[in-house]
Amino acid sequence: MSLEPVLARIAQIESAFADPLLLSGATAAAAGSGATAATAAGTGTTPTASAASASTSFASLLDNAAGSSDTSASSADPETLDSIYGMDALQTLGGLDDPDSGSSSSALDPASELLSLVGTGALGSSTATTSGTSSSGLEGLSGTGSVSSPTAEGTSSGGNQAIVQIAESQVGQIEQPFGSNNGPAITMYRSAVAGAEPGEPWCAQFASWVAKQAGIPLGEQGQGFSAVSQIWSWAEQTGRAIPNGPGVVPQPGDLIVFGDAHVGIVTGVQANGDIDTVEGNFDNQVMRNVRGPDEATGYVNMSE
């Protein structure tokens, strides 16, 4: 099936929609009773609506659609549609493989297909607008309709996502010299903790630095912590502490706590319940790890 007739008629339809006089039926009044009839399809000229056909033109059908829910697409006058848009193209849209042969591969009504093509669907149908009211569907033709954007409800908070991304960006940072609890990267992590001293265990300092970079600093004053026990105490005071137990599943971005000994960052939860983590000062470096669901003593909720 050639697309040229369809594309030609679509261009004609767009031209008609661009003329508010044609859509409103005012062309008839402006032209007077002596206006000439529209040219037939296939002559090579752009069809226009005449005064004689104004009352039964496609514009009138659209007007009827806006005012009545009982009018169906099948009531369209084929001769009128032919004079304005060309029945050859309509037949093609309606499923005729060869407009001249009369054989049809479907029983679709050409007028219905035209209306569907331009976005009105069945005449008199309504579509929801962002204001909560409904309209005839013609709004979409004039460009006044609008569609609401989906929201991000149900997704992780931006802070938690940032914590995961920042933590993962540090994987591979290592102590220099190895085993010294020091080095350029560790010095940077230590800068997020007030009063931190070189050579201290730095897993809590790493968690404090990541949280601060993500805009959710640890501590009442955002001062960060060098000790895991201090992180858990702050979490309890602020309602962020989640003791581990049956059915407890952390969220990516939460801190994972192992008593007073160690802390890391949850980056994901596997289908079997295992916890993916990034942990500072694990084997003297920042490493990815996988923890069993029963290993942690608790989690710190970092959602804002």
Segment holding 27, helix H or strand E: helix 27-31
Segment holding 30, helix H or strand E: helix 27-31
pTM: predicted TM-score of the whole model, two decimal places? 0.51
Whether residue 177 is preceded by a cis peptide bond, meaning omega within 30 degrees of 0, is: yes
Give CB contacts under 8 A, 24+ apart, made by 270-274: 273/249
Q: Which amino acid is at 67?
A: G
225 with 218: CB under 8 angstroms? yes
CATH classification of 158-300 is 3.30.470.20, yes or no?
no
- Residue 294 neighbours by CB distance under 10 Å: 10
In Å, what is the CA distance from 13 to each residue of 9, 41, 118, 189, 296? 6, 13, 8, 65, 66
Tens of pLDDT along the chain (304 residues) come to 556 666 767 767 766 665 555 544 444 444 444 434 333 434 444 444 443 444 445 555 455 544 544 444 444 455 554 555 455 544 544 444 444 444 444 444 544 444 444 444 333 333 333 333 333 333 333 333 332 222 222 234 468 999 999 999 999 999 999 999 999 999 999 999 999 999 999 999 999 999 999 999 999 999 999 999 999 999 999 999 999 999 999 999 999 999 999 999 999 999 999 999 999 999 999 999 999 999 999 999 999 7
Q: How is the beta sheet containing 275-282 ordered, strand by strand?
A: 241-243, 298-300, 255-258, 262-269, 275-282, 285-291
- The whole-angstrom separation of Cα 225 and Cα 195 is 9
Instruction: Report DSSP letters for 34-75, one per residue.
Output: TPPPPPPTTSSS-----TTTGGGSHHHHHHHHHH-SS--GGG
pLDDT of residue 79: 58
240 with 251: CB under 8 angstroms? no
Residues of the chain with CATH 3.90.1720.10: 158-300
- The whole-angstrom separation of Cα 241 and Cα 193 is 20
Pairing relation of β-strands 255-258 and 262-269?
antiparallel
